[in-house]
Structure 1
Amino acid sequence: MKGSYLLFLLVLLAPWSGLCQTVEKVDSVARKKGKVIAAPILGYSPESRFFGGFMGMWILPKKGVDTSSFKRPSTLAPIFIYTANKQVISSLRSEQYFKNATYLSNTLRVRNYPDFFFGIGNDTHPDDLEMFLDQFGQLNGRWMKIRDEKYFFGLSYDFRYDKLSDFKDGAVLETGEVSGTKGGWTNGLGPIFIFDTRDNVLYPSKGWYVTSNLHYFSKVVGSNYSFAQLNIDSRYFREVISPKHVLGLQLVINSVAGNNIPFYRLPQLGGNDRLRGIKNENLYRDKVSWYFQVEGRRTLFWRLGGVLFAGVGNVSPGIVSAFQTPVKAVVGAGGRFRPIKDQKLNLRLDFGVATDGFYAVYLNVAEAF
């Protein structure tokens, strides 16, 4: 098993190495003429198993924009992925920066997604799963005003339509006992705030990153469901002992409030970047989720590195009970490879173990947080 993952990691390196080299060389060209970049995608997660596809990026030419330090190239980035579980994932992301210190970010997603439902709460079990088909389209984004290169204020929005089908006969979803089985629109918008002092977005070694946004889902904006959603993500990074050792801390709190919230909009635990080691990212979901994780990152030699990580978290129907019930915990380790020496973009292979005895393996690009 270990040999197969090592072989797969080596296969993954070649296309991304070429992509990073291309990105490194095109910046001066992109300022005048723009540039198109493309590369294959390969990876693994417990939810999808192996997956493959392609990604692209169109770096738009700069025309008369200001040159202050927060200014970045505007981009368009399409992605298409097909998984071993016959899940189709496609998206188009745009980042547009303007002269008046504002930017607009949009992501359009379309998915044909066989998914998993284990129930609601923190005592669900991996064996109690129901599969269903979720076909959905989603547009989310934010318009932000940039102040002092650290503070960002603006409006965040999320518009999504779901069509659910192929429920298991006689199971919970098929009976309609859970809110959301009829699908429909969940549309929301609200304020967003970001504070960012990281020295590098892809591999920070010092600084803070704090973001908070509040969405109101309402019939006023065409939503079939009415509820509120609060997301808080706080991260801190610092060098320890030497520049080769980096400590990262993250605390995330997600909460929804309302009486008719579709189950697929409830906060969750687990996955590629949230408490790696939980058997499935859909295993635990409820009105409140929180998790705290710590990661020690170490540059080893050449372009190789390693990490040790641990985390705790929980889901519950309310804020108070979220911190009273027994928490979930994970520990794990991972390897890192940097395709280009001067580009702080790592390929990662992580192995995590949860307190319930289950484990999970993840193969992906960039750090978990």
Structure 2
Amino acid sequence: MLLLVLAVYLIPYPAFSQNIDALQEFFTFYPNRKSVALDSSIYPSKFIAAPVISYSPETNFAFGIGAKYLFKFAGSGEETRVSNMPITFQYTLNNQYFLYSGFEIFTNQEKWVIEGNILLQNYPRLYYGTGNRTEESAEEVYEYNQLLIEPIFLKQMFLEHLFIGGGFRFNHIYNTEIEEDGLLAINRPDGFEGSTSVGAEVAALYDSRDIILNASTGWYLEFTHGKYGEVLGGTNNFNLTRMDLRHFLRVSKNNEDVLAFQFVGRAVRGKSPFSEFSLLGSSEIMRGYREGRFLDRDFLATQVEYRKNFKNSRIGAVAFLGTGDVYNNIDEFQFSGLKPNYGVGVRFKIDKEENLNLRLDFGFGRGTNEIYLSIAEAF
């Protein structure tokens, strides 16, 4: 990233932009290039890939690839938004791995939306105990393997941007390793030695965003409710409810700046395993806290982000502010107990046509801070 910043100052912008376009082309593959050459009405699908290097105390150095597959089904026109299938793979010097895809696919004329997550990982998680007042000094490492599969199928109904449907979620935790005489060994929460969650979900989605990867206008509201049970092959009986509300609007007609809002809620009821508890802290919301710094059954958080887009430039900047907390029950919510987070970031547009950014964020929380480098916006 430092080399990129230096290049902005040392290379004249037209030449710099041309070099970036050439670099982008080097990492971009067009699976349907021949079909597009024969029929210009076909959307040119793109597979954009780039090497990824990261470091954290838990994993040591990690190397891998980050990619996004952007496409439309044959017969889709301007009325159908671009489908997005991100793929991330990393392998660390500690022999850990991480493979993830969170996808959102639109069929022709957006009659159906297929979304969900696929995750396979052997990655450590930091554990500080359960609750919203755990101490930093209690930190310990929890090793485990995880396989998560969650497809959701939604059909457009009643309103133009409203989709209703359902799916299933399979979350398998295995090969767990805990610290001897640590908090997990003492507290022994249900499922700390491994668990399997299998559930059927109902879902509703309202999505009027203009661009999926980096929206400037529109609303996004997703609600899912899943019922998990031993009768389905799981180890526990419980319910999981999630909500994600976002809004994007242009700040002024005189510029391309965007104001973005998000509110997230998550609640677990019943005898859920430890692996299904809600985590505070991530690269997407409550930036500045390590993922899982606070852990409990329920989670509420909100954030607002100002996105500054400089005219005729690939460079952008953001400032964000948020707050949230975890609870054993939502009725424990108190404004005085909310944890703050804030930060700034820089953006570099790696694909002008798709409005796709490389983002570098510096997040700060209460007595903590984190750095995030990723492709696409946090939300």
Does TM-score exceed 0.5, indicating one fold? yes
Aligned to 1:255: 267
In 2 relative to 1, CA 200–72 (structure 1 residues): closer, same or farther, beyond 3 Å?
closer
Is 1:232–2:243 an aligned residue pair?
yes
Matches within 5 A, 1:72-151: 78-83=87-92, 86-91=95-100, 101-105=111-115, 107-147=117-157, 148-151=159-162
Distance apart, 1:79 and its partner CA: 3.8
Aligned to 1:340: 351
Q: For residue 53 of structure 1, what is the amino acid of its counterpart?
A: G
Deviates more, 1:217-226 or 1:235-244: 235-244
Q: For residue 226 of structure 1, what is the amino acid of its counterpart?
A: N
Q: Deviations over 1:102-126 (max 9, x none)?
A: 3444543221122221111111233
Deviates more, 1:144-153 or 1:154-163: 144-153
Q: For residue 264 of structure 2, what is the amino acid of its counterpart?
A: V
Q: For residue 225 of structure 1, what is the amino acid of its counterpart?
A: N
Aligned to 2:374: 364
Is 1:320–2:307 an aligned residue pair?
no
User: Greater relative contact order (Cα 8 A, min sep 6): structure 1 or 2?
Assistant: 1
Counterpart contact for 2:81–2:212, Cα < 8 Å: no
SS of the counterpart of 2:256?
strand
Distance apart, 1:48 and its partner CA: 5.3
- Given candidates 213, 216, 220, the residue that maps to 1:202 is 213
Q: For residue 353 of structure 1, what is the amino acid of its counterpart?
A: F
Is 1:18–2:25 an aligned residue pair?
yes
Is 1:267–2:259 an aligned residue pair?
no
Separation in 2 of the partners of 1:71 and 1:359? 36
Counterpart contact for 2:259–2:307, Cα < 8 Å: yes
SS of the counterpart of 1:200?
coil
Separation in 2 of the partners of 1:50 and 1:367? 24
In 2 relative to 1, CA 97–365 (structure 1 residues): closer, same or farther, beyond 3 Å?
closer
Distance apart, 1:177 and its partner CA: 2.2
SS of the counterpart of 1:17?
helix
Separation in 2 of the partners of 1:217 and 1:110? 20
SS of the counterpart of 1:243?
coil
In 2 relative to 1, CA 277–153 (structure 1 residues): closer, same or farther, beyond 3 Å?
same
SS of the counterpart of 1:289?
strand
Separation in 2 of the partners of 1:206 and 1:42? 30
Separation in 2 of the partners of 1:200 and 1:106? 18
Q: For residue 255 of structure 2, what is the amino acid of its counterpart?
A: P
Separation in 1 of the partners of 2:61 and 2:349? 21
In 2 relative to 1, CA 221–19 (structure 1 residues): closer, same or farther, beyond 3 Å?
farther
Q: For residue 134 of structure 2, what is the amino acid of its counterpart?
A: T
Q: Deviations over 1:250-306 (max 9, x none)?
A: 111111111x2222211111110111111x111111111111101001012511010
- Given candidates 25, 36, 56, the residue that maps to 1:28 is 36
RMSD: 3.3
Distance apart, 1:21 and its partner CA: 5.4
Q: Deviations over 1:34-68 (max 9, x none)?
A: 968362331547575753312556778956x5658
Q: Deviations over 1:159-192 (max 9, x none)?
A: 0211142211111222462121131211112211
Deviates more, 1:309-318 or 1:233-242: 233-242
Separation in 2 of the partners of 1:76 and 1:239? 26
Counterpart contact for 2:31–2:45, Cα < 8 Å: no
Unaligned runs of at least 5 residues, structure 2: 8-19
Distance apart, 1:346 and its partner CA: 0.6
Counterpart contact for 1:20–1:339, Cα < 8 Å: no
Aligned to 1:159: 170
Counterpart contact for 1:41–1:52, Cα < 8 Å: yes
- Given candidates 2, 26, 39, the residue that maps to 1:6 is 2
In 2 relative to 1, CA 72–184 (structure 1 residues): closer, same or farther, beyond 3 Å?
same
Distance apart, 1:239 and its partner CA: 1.1
- Kindly, what percent of the aligned residue pairs are identical? 26
Counterpart contact for 1:158–1:188, Cα < 8 Å: yes
Aligned pairs, number:
359
Aligned to 2:195: 184
Separation in 2 of the partners of 1:7 and 1:160? 40
Q: For residue 6 of structure 1, what is the amino acid of its counterpart?
A: L
Deviates more, 1:174-183 or 1:86-95: 86-95
Separation in 1 of the partners of 2:374 and 2:315? 15
Separation in 2 of the partners of 1:363 and 1:349? 5
Deviates more, 1:20-29 or 1:165-174: 20-29
Counterpart contact for 2:27–2:50, Cα < 8 Å: no
Counterpart contact for 1:92–1:108, Cα < 8 Å: yes
Aligned to 2:15: none
